[in-house]
Structure 1
Amino acid sequence: MPTNRSNARAMLTLPEVCDELHVSRSTFYDWRQKGRAPRCIKLPNGDLRVRRGDLDHWLNELEDAA
């Protein structure tokens, strides 16, 4: 059974996602506004997180579309 610690590691911060995708934060927010970004979780403090699985799925969908 996964622990909270492993769940936390499965969620990426916005800087981690932007770094992995080699895009700026403003580009990510632009994609998000246009509905082109991976699914995000908005925390109560306003920070965004992206599940590793959602990011991988999103990337796979882009590969299929290419």
Structure 2
Amino acid sequence: MAATASKPMTVADFCTELGIARSTFYDWRAKGRAPRCLKLPNGDLRIRRTDYDRWLTSLEDTA
């Protein structure tokens, strides 16, 4: 089993990968523009890699 492929991304991972500020992620999330997140019992958020990839694909410009 590939641990990296199945391990959900942290908010920090997501922000680093896209080169955005953490505040931008939370702004997008509040506006419903961020990928689907998992909320852990301790309140931390995680993003499944499959949800992240699907979200990125949905942003592609078809022009």
Aligning the two structures, in what range does the TM-score lie when normalised by the shorter sequence?
0.7 to 0.9
2:53 aligned with 1:56? yes
In the superposition, the TM-score normalised over structure 2's length comes to 0.86
What are structure 2's unaligned runs of at least 5 residues? none
Structure with greater proportional helix content: 1
How many pairs are equivalent?
Answer: 63
Residue by residue, what CA displacement relative to the aligned partner does 1:17-51 show, whole Å, maximum 9, x if unpaired?
00001111000000000000000001010100000
Aligned positions of 1:1-66 closer than 5 A? 6=3, 9-64=6-61
What are structure 1's unaligned runs of at least 5 residues? none
Q: Which runs of 4+ in 1 moved over 6 A?
A: none
- What's the RMSD between the two structures over aligned residues? 2.2
